Structure 1
Amino acid sequence: MKSPVAHRSWVVGAVVLAVAAALLVAVGPEGAGAGRADTASGHRWITDRQGRALVLRGLSTASSAKTAPDGMPWIEEKDVARERRSLGTNFVRFLLQWRKVEPSPGTYDRTYLKRVAERVRWYGERGYHVLLDMHQDLYGPAVGGNGAPAWATGTDGHTSAATDPWELGYVEPGTVRAFDRFWGTADGGRDLRGHYARAWREVARYFADDDAVVGYDLMNEPWGGSVQGPAFESGPLARLYQDCIDAIRTVDRDRWLLVEPSAIGANWGFATGLPRLDDPRGDGEKARIAYAPHLYPLPMDLGGGYTGDTKGQVDASLRAWREQTERTARRLGAPVVIGEFGLDVGLPGAMEYVEKVQRMADEMGAGIAYWSNDPGPWAPWDARMRPTALLPVLDRPAPMAVAGDPVGYRWDVRSRTLSVRWRGTAGVRGGTEVYLPARYFPRGGRVTGGDKASWDAKSRVLVLRSGPGEHSVRITPLG
C-alpha cells in the first residue's frame, strides 16, 4: 500500500503489522491451485487491436487527483510529452474518482469524463495504452480518504480520525462501517454496490470507442471492512467484480477488465481467495479479465530500504509474491499487471530494488505501473521537475508490442544487449516494436537473428519484421 510518508519507525510499523495480522486470514497454497496455461509461453497476455502481445511499462497518474476538487491530476500535455520522451513508456494507469463520476445518486458528470478524455487523448496521441483506475484509499473523503462520494458513505454516526501512518485509518470505526455499508455486510442500507457498477457502466459507455483505452481497473486496493481474507475476496468482492464486469460488457465488449485482490496480504506475498470470474465475452481466449495485484513487501511498506537484514526479508517476500501471483494468474486464466510498486527513491538500495522488480516482471511477462508520476521523493523527477536517480533506472530497453506469443525477453545492461524471443502466430498484424533509449542506444540498434523493418530515432522505437514461426533476436548498440 503506497504511502506519501518518506519514512516510518519500526515501532509504528509493528503496530501496522499487528493490526494486519489480526485481520488477515491467509489462503493456504491448496486454495490457489494451478490451472490451464493459455499460451505456449505459459500464460496469457493483454493484446492490442492487432492481436499483438503488449509489454506494458509505465506510471500511475496521479496521486494528486485524489484530493483535487476537480478530480484531475497535476499534469499538462507537456508533462505527458516529457514522460514519453524521458522514459519511453507505453502505459499509464490513470486515476478516476467515483465521487466525480457520480456526484449525486444516478447522476453522472459528463464534464468530468470529458476532462478525463482530454488527458487520455494526450497519452493516446503518443502511443500510450491507458488503464482507467477507479481509485480509493480509506473509502472516501467523508471518512478522511478518497474515492467514494459523501452520499455513498454510511457511518451510522461512527467517526474516523486522522492516523499516522495513514493505513491505520482503515480500522477507524467510521471507515470500517462505511465499507461494511458499501459491501452490504452491515444490516440495512442502500444498494451502493449497484450504484458503483452502474457508474462503471457509464465510464465504459463514454470510452468504449476510445482506442487509447486498453482497460478498466475495477477497484484500487479493495478493503473488506469487518470482513477479511477469503470470506471477503470470494464473497462481497467477487460479487462486486462480477456485477461490474456484467455492467461494463453491456456497453463495451472489448476492453480488458483488471481485478485486484485485497491489498492486505496479497501486496506482501500471501495468497488470495479471489475466484475465477465470468466474462460475458466467453471463456478461455475470448475472456479479457486480467489480474492486477500490487507489490509492496512489508518491510518496505513500513518505510524500510533495501539493505542489510531487510534486504533478505524483502527478497523472501518477493519470492512469495511471485509464486502466489503466478499461481493465481493460472487459476484465473489471466494476464498479470503489477498495478503498483514503488518506494522513496532516497532510501538505501532503492534503485537496486526497482531494477530487481523490473527483472522479475520481465521474467513473469507482467506489465508494470510504477507509483507514481507525482513530482517528489517517489518519482522519476523532483518538485522542480529535475530527474531523480529513478529516471535512468526506469528508462530501460524493452519490447513494447510482440507480434505473436512472447517466449522471453531480457535486458543485460553489462553487455548492452536486449534479447527477445517469440513465436509468430497467424492472424496477428504488425511488427514487433522495441524501445531503445538513447542512453544505451544513441545511434539505434544492430539486430542479430532477425530483420529490421524500420527505426524511428524520435520515438526510439525499432520495428522488427515478424511472421509465423520461431523468432530470436539480439539487439546491440550501433557504432
Structure 2
Amino acid sequence: MKSLAAWRTWAVGAVVLAVAAALLVAVGPEGAGAGRADTASGHRWITDRQGRALVLRGLSTASSAKEAPDGMPWIEEKDVERERRALGTNFVRFLLQWRKVEPSPGTYDTAYLRQVAERVRWYGERGYHVLLDMHQDLYGPGVGGNGAPKWATRTDGLTSAATDPWELGYAEPGTVRAFDRFWGTVEGDGRDLRAHYAKAWRAVAEHFADDDTVIGYDLMNEPWGGSVQGPAFESGPLARLYQDCIDAIRTVDRGHWLFVEPSAIGANWGFATGLPRLEDPRGDGDEARIAYAPHLYPLPMDLGGGYTGDAKGQVDATLRAWREQTEKTARRLGAPVVIGEFGIDVGLPGAMEYVEKVQRMADDMGAGIAYWSNDPGPWAPWDAGMKPTRLLPVLDRPSPRAIAGDPVTFRWDAADKALTVSWRGRAGMRGDTEIHLPARHFPEGGRVEGGEKRSWDPKSRILTLRSGPGAHSVRITPRA
C-alpha cells in the first residue's frame, strides 16, 4: 500500500534511480498502439480449466496479514460474502508470508497452509479465483518489515531504524544488507537463501496443486534489489530467482499460472523494466503459463496530491507510459497482464475519476485488476465501520467474467448504460460466456442484442450467453 505522505519523501530520493534504471534498459520503448491487441495479434489471456479467457476484477487481501501473528488477514467468511454481494468481484490477491510458510529452515507450517486453504475455500464457494501472493515490504520483521523469516535475515551487524515514511526503510543499511545477502550479491555467508525461498514456494504449490480455486502464484511482491538496482537486478538476481521458483513449482504443479513482477521502483511509475523472458517447463507459446503483474502508482499523483490541476496531465502521461511499457514487457514475456496493485485515498480530489480511468485502461488492455486493498479505511470500498465509501459504486461496474473464445473488445458506457462485448468463438470450446451485471445498473437484469441468452441468475448477477464457433458481438442494456 502506498500512501501520499509516504511517497512524497520516498520519491525524492528514488526518482533519480528510477530514471537512470529506465534509461539503462537495453530494449528501447516501442509504441503500444491505440487499442488493445487481441488474441490474433499476440495478446494472451489468463484462462480457466475450460480454456475460457478470464477477466479478473477484485481486491488484494489484505495488509492486515503482514503483522498478524498467525499471518491471516482480518476477514471472516461473512466478509467474503459481503464483498461478493457488494462488488460482484471474481478475483482476490491473497497475501502470504514467507515467515509463516517456512518458520525454520526446511520446515514448512502445514497448519498455516491449512488456514490459507480454509480462506481459499470461502472464496471458491462464491466463484472467485485466488492468486496467492508471497508478500514482502522492507524484507522482513528482522529489519522492521514483513515477509522473510528472521532466520533468513542477515545484516552483518548493520542496523535498520524506523523511518517516516516507512518506505525510506529500504535505504537503511541493515535492510540493504539483508536484501544483498538474500540475492547473494555480497561476499560471505554460504547459505543460499534463494534456494530456501524456491523450496518454500514448492511447498505452497504442492499444497494447492489440485485446488481449482487457486488461479496461480505471485512469486514476490515489489522486489527490491538492495545495492543492485535497475536492469542489472532485474535481468540478473531477480530473473534467476524467478526461474528457480518456476522450476521448483513445476515439479509439483503443472497447471497453475505463475505471476512475476518487475522491480517496483520505476516500473510502478511507467518506466521500462529489464525483466527478461522466463522459461516455463510446461513448454513454449500457449503451453506456458507465466503472467505479468506490475503495480501502478503514478508518481505525479503522489507528489501533486490527487488527480486534479496540473498533476492530472502528468498522471495521464504516466498512464500512457505505463501502458506502453507494460504491453511491451508482456510481449517480451509472452504473458497476459494483471495490474497486481493500484489504489488511492478516496478522499483525494479526482480520486474516483482516476479509478474509473484505470479501469477503462485495463478493459482496453485486456488486463486483470487487484485493487489495493480490502482493508477497511480511506483506500477501501468500506470505512473502518464497514460503511461503503464513495469508491464502492465506482468499482461495482458491469464486466464480462469469462469469455468462451478469444476476446476482441469489451466496454462499459456508463452514460448509455450499455455494455458491449465482442469475441471469436473457437470449435471445441467448453463452457459459456459469463457477464456480471450489478444491481445498481441492471436492477431487473439485462436485455441482450445480437446474442442468445442461456440463463440469468439474479442472486449472483451473472448473465450466461451461448457461445460457439465464429464471431459474436452483443450489446447489453438494462431490462425495463
Q: Fold conserved (TM > 0.5)?
A: yes
Cα distance 1:475–1:22, how it changes in 2: closer, same or farther (>3 A)?
A: closer
Deviations 1:136-185 (A, max 9, x none): 00000010110000000010000111111111111110000000000000
The residue number in structure 1 matching 2:315 is 314
User: TM-score, normalised on structure 2?
Assistant: 0.96
Deviations 1:185-211 (A, max 9, x none): 011221000000000000000000111
Deviations 1:305-357 (A, max 9, x none): 10001111111100000000001101111000000000101000000000000
Cα distance 1:30–1:8, how it changes in 2: closer, same or farther (>3 A)?
A: closer
Query: For residues 350 and 158 of structure 2, what CA distance do their matches in structure 1 show?
Result: 42
Question: Is 1:267 aligned to 2:268, yes or no?
Answer: yes
The residue number in structure 1 matching 2:142 is 142
Q: CA deviation at 1:30?
A: 3.0
Tell me if the contact between 2:432 and 2:464 (Cα under 8 Å) persists in the aligned partners: yes
Figure out how many residues of one structure are paired with residues of the other and give that number. Answer: 475
2:39 aligned counterpart, secondary structure: coil
Query: For residues 28 and 261 of structure 1, what CA distance do their matches in structure 2 show?
Result: 13
The residue number in structure 2 matching 1:324 is 325
The residue number in structure 1 matching 2:54 is 54
Q: CA deviation at 1:219?
A: 0.2
The amino acid of 1:466's aligned partner reads S
1:340 aligned counterpart, secondary structure: strand
Deviations 1:6-46 (A, max 9, x none): 54595x366344564587454447346699x8921540000
Deviations 1:55-112 (A, max 9, x none): 0000000000000000000000000000000000000000000000000000000000
Tell me if the contact between 1:25 and 1:228 (Cα under 8 Å) persists in the aligned partners: no
Superposition pairs of residues 187-198 of structure 1, within 5 angstroms: 187-189=187-189, 190-198=191-199
Cα distance 1:218–1:38, how it changes in 2: closer, same or farther (>3 A)?
A: farther
The residue number in structure 2 matching 1:153 is 153
Query: For residues 33 and 378 of structure 1, what CA distance do their matches in structure 2 show?
Result: 33
Identity %: 81
Deviations 1:258-295 (A, max 9, x none): 00000000000000000000000000000000000000
The residue number in structure 1 matching 2:115 is 115
Tell me if the contact between 1:102 and 1:149 (Cα under 8 Å) persists in the aligned partners: yes
Superposition pairs of residues 59-138 of structure 1, within 5 angstroms: 59-138=59-138
1:30 aligned counterpart, secondary structure: coil
Question: Is 1:15 aligned to 2:12, yes or no?
Answer: yes
Cα distance 1:369–1:157, how it changes in 2: closer, same or farther (>3 A)?
A: same
The residue number in structure 2 matching 1:250 is 251
Query: For residues 266 and 340 of structure 2, what CA distance do their matches in structure 1 show?
Result: 15
Q: CA deviation at 1:397?
A: 0.1
Superposition pairs of residues 169-188 of structure 1, within 5 angstroms: 169-188=169-188
2:27 aligned counterpart, secondary structure: helix
Tell me if the contact between 1:66 and 1:147 (Cα under 8 Å) persists in the aligned partners: yes
User: What runs of 5+ residues in structure 1 fail to find an aligned partner?
Assistant: none
Tell me if the contact between 1:419 and 1:475 (Cα under 8 Å) persists in the aligned partners: yes
The residue number in structure 1 matching 2:297 is 296
Tell me if the contact between 2:434 and 2:462 (Cα under 8 Å) persists in the aligned partners: yes
Aligned-residue CA RMSD in angstroms? Answer: 1.7
Tell me if the contact between 1:9 and 1:303 (Cα under 8 Å) persists in the aligned partners: no
Query: For residues 9 and 468 of structure 1, what CA distance do their matches in structure 2 show?
Result: 49
1:409 aligned counterpart, secondary structure: strand
1:257 aligned counterpart, secondary structure: strand
Tell me if the contact between 2:62 and 2:73 (Cα under 8 Å) persists in the aligned partners: yes
Cα distance 1:18–1:34, how it changes in 2: closer, same or farther (>3 A)?
A: closer
Cα distance 1:75–1:41, how it changes in 2: closer, same or farther (>3 A)?
A: farther
Cα distance 1:197–1:374, how it changes in 2: closer, same or farther (>3 A)?
A: same
The amino acid of 2:102's aligned partner reads E
Query: For residues 127 and 24 of structure 2, what CA distance do their matches in structure 1 show?
Result: 40
